[in-house]
Amino acid sequence: MKDKSNLYKLNRDFYNRDTLLVAEELIGKILVYNNNGYILSGRISETEAYIGAVDKASHCYGGKITERNKTLFGPPGHTYVYMIYGMYYCMNVVTEQEGFGSGVLLRGMIPLENIDMMCLNRYNKHLNEISKIQFKNLSNGPGKLCKALNITKKENGLDLIKEEIYILNDEYKNYEIEKTKRINIDYAEEAKDFMWRFLMKKRS
């Protein structure tokens, strides 16, 4: 992220759109988290869309608002963080109009800034102490991403338009997008076959 001349923060209107469009267009953008004065960032490389109205894999399916999912029913451009398997946090971006109940899961990112701090968060080791495999696996999954950035439930509901956590566009274009089925949702009946997963494929 050497050239910052084209950088701009995504605004509310970006998130207040069709969830599938937001999920696809988040690929290649830069997630930034101000972690106690340390700026950690990475380029978003994988997302999944979840739309409660039609999606049996969504926490909002059925339209019932609970203490857990209420952030997803809130205004767009906020974080929705929840725990899976009782040990890993996952972060979503709330999309579409308030009350709709939809979001985009951030499934992976390519580390950019303060990678050493991410390594300490993930492995309790410095960058020069980890293996190539550990570096490859630093943030290539939703739980890994949150662990690398030290994102927990306390980051649930943060406004992405403010300064603690936000997403930048630097007009990076050196990639193509692959669309596939989402993973680890075999319970979701027909929704498991929705082509709502988006992955960055770098051009050679």
Give the pLDDT confidence score for residue 204 in this predicted structure.
64
- Look up residue 191 and give its DSSP letter: G
What tens digit of pLDDT does each residue of 81-118 get? 999 988 999 999 999 999 999 999 999 999 999 999 99
Q: Which residue has the tokens 């399916």?
A: 61
Q: Low-confidence residues of the chain, pLDDT below 50?
A: none
In a domain, 163, yes or no: yes
Structural domains of the chain, count:
1
In a domain, 104, yes or no: yes
Give the pLDDT confidence score for residue 90 in this predicted structure.
98
In a domain, 33, yes or no: yes
C-alpha distances (whole Å) from 112 to each of 31, 60, 72, 154 are 10, 33, 28, 23
Question: CA 163, CA 37: separation in Å to the nearest integer?
Answer: 11
Q: Which CATH number fits the domain that encloses residue 70?
A: 3.10.300.10
Question: CA 147, CA 122: separation in Å to the nearest integer?
Answer: 6
The structure's pTM equals 0.95
In a domain, 45, yes or no: yes
In a domain, 30, yes or no: yes
Question: CA 103, CA 18: separation in Å to the nearest integer?
Answer: 10
Give the pLDDT confidence score for residue 2 in this predicted structure.
52
Question: What are the residues whose beta carbons fall under 8 Å from the beta carbon of 44, sequence distance 6 or more?
Answer: 26, 27, 28, 29, 30, 31, 106, 108, 109, 167, 200
In a domain, 186, yes or no: no
Give the pLDDT confidence score for residue 6 in this predicted structure.
77
Give the pLDDT confidence score for residue 8 in this predicted structure.
95
Give the pLDDT confidence score for residue 166 in this predicted structure.
98
In a domain, 107, yes or no: yes
In a domain, 183, yes or no: no
Q: For residue 115, give its domain range.
A: 12-171
Strands 102-113 and 197-202 come out as unpaired
